[in-house]
Amino acid sequence: MHRRGHVILLVAVLALLGCPKTDQSLVLVGGKALAVEVIDDQPLNVLPSGALLLGTLDVEALFKTNLGGQVGRIVAGLLPLGPESGFVPARDVKRIYGAVYAMQGADFAAVIQGNFNVAAIQQAAQTRAQTPSGAQLVRTRYADYDIYTVANLGFVVLTQRTILSGNETGMRRALDRLRFGPFNQALPSWMVELLQEKPGTQGGQAAFALVGDVTGQGAVEAAADKLPFLAALRLLRVRGNFQPPGMNVVGSLTYVDAATAAKGAVGLGQLQQYAYLASLFATWGFGGKAPALEVTQQDANVAFATEIDTGTINMLLTLVAQLF
């Protein structure tokens, strides 16, 4: 073999040794290889322990309503990517799971599931100087993953079907679960079971669900001065679907005892009469009033049901979108 041939062969061998191929069908959890399907099939296991609120949202169902525009803005806040990434929220995102924490303040982490072009998203995130909002996209390395953030909010690509989002504290605590393992459920079982419960006889998860344990939370106790039904509240469970007139909601609140629950039931039934809510609607620039609720009490639990029109839902989604 000529000298030039030896050089070419040597360069080729060094290239192969120095640039090993990564197996995108596996991820490392606690130093052990784990099939990506395990993460895709158990998204709640990505979320850290200590959640105050845990929720899920059927984004695919919402995009099929006339609320799709507002939902798109929220998704764009969680995944600030331009068209060069090949990312189309209405096409690519199916469901979101999220949790709120009090780690170093008001923190949150979310798992976004759908179908994603990982290579295009990573390339766009690495080369894009600015996000669609004009803010700078910053890349940092943590637990062997790239975190892309804009003003403390960002995302991490985990698999072709699962992306982690949240603020930096929330994302780092979630990535710690992948770094140290094991990949098991860290959230309370009652929260997870209620979130995954199949409503009625139609099967499948609820289009919208929220559960939480707000026992002793100062913000909730402080708000009870203006919203009396929050006084001595412990647990909450809410489920709903996106059917006419907009969203149908059922839920329950658990209080410290039956006497407090009785007061909570009265306060919840008077929701439309609260001047505080009316002033908030006016401050936010929206008309209308809080929806009427059907309320029943049994021991320390208060059950409720209501219908929320599209206009009110649009208002709430607008407020959420403004957080990003």
Q: For the chain, which residues make up each domain, given as ranges?
A: 24-186, 214-324
What pLDDT, on a 0 to 100 scale, did the predictor assign at position 14? Answer: 33
Q: Looking at residues 178-184, what average pLDDT do you find?
A: 88
Q: What is the spatial distance between Cα 94 and Cα 72, in angstroms, rounded to a whole number? A: 12
Q: What is the spatial distance between Cα 100 and Cα 324, in angstroms, rounded to a whole number? A: 16
pLDDT at 312 over 50: yes
279-303 per-position pLDDT tens digit: 766 666 666 667 789 999 999 999 9
pLDDT at 324 over 70: no
* pLDDT cut 70: percent of the chain above it: 79
Helices (H), the chain: 3-18, 36-41, 59-63, 68-78, 89-92, 118-127, 168-180, 189-196, 218-223, 258-269, 275-283, 310-321
For the chain, the distance separating the N- and C-terminal CA atoms, rounded to the nearest angstrom, is 62
pLDDT at 163 over 60: yes
Lowest mean pLDDT among 43-57, 167-181, 189-203: 189-203
What pLDDT, on a 0 to 100 scale, did the predictor assign at position 310? Answer: 82
Q: What is the spatial distance between Cα 177 and Cα 86, in angstroms, rounded to a whole number? A: 29
Q: For residue 133, name the pLDDT band (cuts at 50, 70, 90).
A: low
pLDDT at 104 over 90: no
Q: Using DSSP, state whether 231 is helix, strand or coil.
A: coil
Q: Collect all residues with Cβ–Cβ distance below 8 Å to 170 and sequence separation of at least 6.
A: 48, 99, 101, 103, 107, 108, 109
The two tokens of residue 151 are 């003003």
Q: Looking at residues 83-112, what average pLDDT do you find?
A: 90
What pLDDT, on a 0 to 100 scale, did the predictor assign at position 7? Answer: 38
Q: For residue 60, name the pLDDT band (cuts at 50, 70, 90).
A: very high
Q: Looking at residues 6-21, what average pLDDT do you find?
A: 36
Provide the mean pLDDT of the chain.
Answer: 82
pLDDT at 203 over 60: no
Lowest mean pLDDT among 71-75, 105-109, 250-254, 318-322: 318-322
Q: Looking at residues 293-316, what average pLDDT do you find?
A: 89
Q: Looking at residues 231-235, what average pLDDT do you find?
A: 95
Q: What is the spatial distance between Cα 56 and Cα 58, in angstroms, rounded to a whole number? A: 7
- Buried b / exposed e over 120-141, threshold 16 CB at 10 Å, is ebbebbeebeebeeeeebeeee
Q: Looking at residues 176-185, what average pLDDT do you find?
A: 89
More confident residue, 243 or 157: 157
Q: Using DSSP, state whether 227 is helix, strand or coil.
A: coil
Cα 151–153–156 angle (5° rounding)?
Answer: 130
Q: What is the spatial distance between Cα 111 and Cα 162, in angstroms, rounded to a whole number? A: 7
